């Protein structure tokens, strides 16, 4: 079971690493980190690097596609080399997924047309431009397409997918193994309840290392 994670400059690392920690533990998982070119991609602030071991052309038919988000997702959604590859592999995937603004890349590839989908709150309205119906939920499944909202919801998406693939017992064992039992110190993780000053702090780049 080949699982391809799309990497690009400006990625939010947890969008990829969270699902990796879950899906990489599935029986038979063969994880491939893929980018436009082999080698490093870096976060927006250049402080963290991830490595693409494969170029796009080397991964033509993954069983599962995971598309993370981050500030670099916006230009990647307009990069035909990336979107053409996503559209091509989507034709034969068993599951096509995104985390956070990775949904914009799926949208740019035409994957979300006519589907309900979610993404990070700052990009929710952008989904309409790709013919998708934005839905304010942590995880949205439409056939073989699963989209997740901001960053941490990628773990929820991956556990949902793990249960579909290997059953609830395996998914719950993976959840226990990573001790995923969130008890955040603040009730401040949802856009609906946030004051305007805090929203502006996020928009201005505070949460984009």
N- to C-terminal Cα separation, the chain: 32
Side-chain-side CA neighbours of 1 within 13 Å: the count stands at: 14
**List 100, 124, 127, 139, catalytic entry:** 100
For residues 157 and 14, is the Cβ–Cβ distance under 8 A? no
DSSP H or E segment with residue 31:
strand 30-35
pLDDT value at residue 97: 98
- pLDDT number for residue 86: 98
CA angle 120, 124, 127 (to 5 degrees): 120
As a whole number of angstroms, the distance between CA 62 and CA 84 comes to 15
Question: For 117, what's the count of Cα atoms within 13 Å in the CB-facing half-sphere?
Answer: 35
Residue 140 has phi, psi (to 5 degrees) of -125, 125
Query: How is residue 46 annotated by DSSP?
Result: S
Domains of the chain in sequence order: 2-182 (3.40.50.880)
Specify the 3-state DSSP secondary structure of 165.
helix
Q: Is residue 100 flagged as an active site residue?
A: yes
Is this structure's pTM higher than 0.85? yes
* Residues 19/31, Cβ–Cβ less than 8 Å: no
Of residues 161 and 196, more confidently modeled: 161
In a 3-state reduction of DSSP, which class is residue 8?
coil
> Does 194 score more than 60 pLDDT?
yes
Q: Which two tokens stand for residue 100?
A: 């956070």
Kindly write down the DSSP assignment for every residue of 67-135, as one continuous string.
E--STTHHHHTT-HHHHHHHHHHHTT-SEEEEETTHHHHHHHTTTTTTSEE---GGGGGGGGGGT-EE-
pLDDT in tens, 12-64: 999 999 999 999 999 999 999 999 999 999 998 888 999 999 999 999 999 99
């Amino acid at each position: 079971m080949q699982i391809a994670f799309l990497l690009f400059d400006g990625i939010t690392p947890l969008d990829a690493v969270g699902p990796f920690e879950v899906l990489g533990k599935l029986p038979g998982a063969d994880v491939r980190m893929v980018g436009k070119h082999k080698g490093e991609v870096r976060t927006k602030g250049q402080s963290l690097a991830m490595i693409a071991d494969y170029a796009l052309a080397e991964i033509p038919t993954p069983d599962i596609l995971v598309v993370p988000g981050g500030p670099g997702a916006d230009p990647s959604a307009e990069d035909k080399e990336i979107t053409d590859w996503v559209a091509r592999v989507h034709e034969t995937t068993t599951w096509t997924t995104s985390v956070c603004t990775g949904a914009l890349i799926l949208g740019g590839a035409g994957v979300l047309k006519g589907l309900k989908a979610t993404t990070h709150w700052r990009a929710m309205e952008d989904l309409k431009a790709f013919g998708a119906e934005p839905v304010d939920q942590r995880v949205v499944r439409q056939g073989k397409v699963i989209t997740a909202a901001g960053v941490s919801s990628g773990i929820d998406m991956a556990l949902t997918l793990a249960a579909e693939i290997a059953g609830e017992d395996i998914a719950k064992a993976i959840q226990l193994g990573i001790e995923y039992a969130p008890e955040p110190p603040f009730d401040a993780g949802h856009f609906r309840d946030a004051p305007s000053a805090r929203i502006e702090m996020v928009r201005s780049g505070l949460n984009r290392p």
